Amino acid sequence: MQNVLVAGGAGYVGSHCCLALAAAGFRPVVFDDLSNGHREHVQWGPLEVGDIRDAARLDTVFAQHKPVAVLHFAARIEVGESVKNPGAFFDNNVGGTITLVEAARRAGVNALVFSSTCATFGDPVTLPMPENHPQAPLNPYGRSKLMVEQALADYDRYVGFKSAVMRYFNAAGADPEGRIGEWHEPETHAIPLAIDVALGKRSHFTIFGDDYDTRDGTAVRDYVHVLDLADAHVSALKRLLAGGSSEAYNLGTGTGTTVRELVDGVGRAVGKPLAVQMAPRRPGDAPILVGDNAKARAQLGWNPSRDLDAILSSAWRWHRARAKA
């Protein structure tokens, strides 16, 4: 069984990727400082507590576990916070990634799968958005991820370090068996916020803007089940280990869901309509963000198979069970 170092593997997407790695015959070794991740979500391999900016700690972990590759999810992700404190995002997301890559290279590891984002694109110019869409991020979070993408391209170009860049659209859903799910503190993501309304933790769900040029006036986003994302990461890992080239992939379904449709879908999953309040648009919110996944389909054989109802029902089951625990 080959070890894979999963930086940020106690977090939302990282933990679901650990589940998928284990199912594919790998042993995920989680490296996480637990600032955003959860010890309870490390279930498929050992946990090594540490910060990706700590080169000495990384060297120790690489030497002990001898991973064949790295999956990298360890990042600060709150867009609003990145505007208030950009330095922290560049320090962790950019500086930490460089420290991690250099540690991997010292250990003789030459393959990294990187958790990136559609936020590197900024406002859409064409829809659905392909991998070669112009990249003009609107905030320091997106810019930090783009800077890493550019650094990884140079690592490939000049020293042959291989990577797969995975640009998510909206990761959503949970493990259908209820072992892990989406858990942020504080919560900022739409589906958990809507479920909080159903659980009585919030009085209403706020829709920001109903005057967009979309089918019902609310913004459109591309929701992808987190286990579909995990499948793409495992496929990208296998491709790199087989000698594949460095590539970037858009991980979206190619289908958009409006905010109203999302709220209605949560209502179906929980069995009752949600209380909703309208608010003005938020600055920087694009009307439509939908990804073209043709490259991932062609090169990775990726087929995002779980639809919106599967996403919402799995999320509801996990959040409901956690609320009762």
**Beta strand residue intervals within the chain, DSSP E:** 3-7, 27-32, 47-49, 69-72, 111-117, 162-168, 170-172, 205-208, 220-221, 223-225, 247-251, 257-258, 276-279, 288-289
Write down the catalytic residue from 141, 155, 168, 212.
141
Q: Which of 73, 88, 62, 58 is nearest to 18 (CA)?
A: 73
Q: Cα(110)–Cα(148) distance, rounded to whole angstroms?
A: 16
d(CA 291, CA 129): 5
Q: What angle do CA 314, 178, 50 make, to 5 degrees?
A: 115
Residues pairing with 291 in the sheet: 129
Structure tokens at 261: 């449709």
Residue 289 is classified by DSSP as: E
Phi and psi, residue 129, nearest 5°? -85, 120
Please state, as a whole number, how many other Cβ atoms lie within 10 Å of the Cβ of residue 257.
Answer: 22
What is the Cα–Cα distance from 223 to 228, expressed in whole angstroms?
11
- Look up residue 71 and give its amino acid: L
Q: Which helix (H) or strand (E) holds 324?
A: helix 308-324
Within 8 A by CB and 6+ apart from 256, the residues are 220, 221, 222, 288, 289, 290
Catalytic site includes residue 158: no
Catalytic residue set: 141
